[in-house]
Amino acid sequence: MRLFTINNTSLFMTALLSDRETVFDQFLLGDAVIMTGTTFTIDGHINKSFYTDEELEELRRAASENGRIYSEDLIRWEAVKEHCFNCIKGKKTPLSLRINFCLAPENVIRFLKTAETGLNAGDVRSLNVNIKYDGSTLTCTTAVSLSIFTMDKTLENAWDDMFARFLSKHGFDHD
């Protein structure tokens, strides 16, 4: 687990919330809490009972055509970021913001191939990034959840390093 303090908050928030940006679109949304004049809470879990079997199959097919694995549990950030932006837009910054992202399944598989951890996708529950804005400071904290017990920190260290490279690649200055 590693904490990153983001020094260019405005650039990061634009990349996070703009419909013209796709930087975070590959992540799944665990949940989001946005405090402005009221508190907005978004649960990223998909309500499968809302969809017909045909609609779910179409979602699976569309994901497959785009080289993705359809998540039966969590929605992709790209599908809800506009709603989050609408909660925030205006002249005032939010009092606080908290977003919990999970790496999408196809990216977990790719990451494990390069990380050389000896783990397989079934061993990993999630690779997370928790974004927190408290009104003045923006931080990202990485986290790993495993379905097995191990004292080995290779995966955790590799995930921390990968996310540091992700931040740098996209121009997010951080401590």
What is the model's pTM? Answer: 0.92
Q: Please, are residues 88 and 34 in contact by the beta-carbon 8 Å criterion?
A: yes
Is the CA virtual torsion 122, 123, 125, 126 positive or negative? Answer: negative
Phi-psi region of 165 (alpha: psi -120 to 50; beta: other; left: phi over 0): alpha
pLDDT of residue 89: 85
Please tell me whether residue 132 adopts helix, strand or coil conformation.
strand
Take residue 158 and report the two structure tokens written for it: 């590799």
pLDDT tens for residues 67-126? 888 888 999 999 999 999 999 988 889 999 999 999 999 999 999 999 888 898 999 999
pLDDT of residue 155: 95
> Residue 99 and residue 4: Cα distance in Å, rounded?
14
pLDDT tens for residues 129-172? 999 999 999 999 999 999 999 999 999 999 999 999 999 999 99
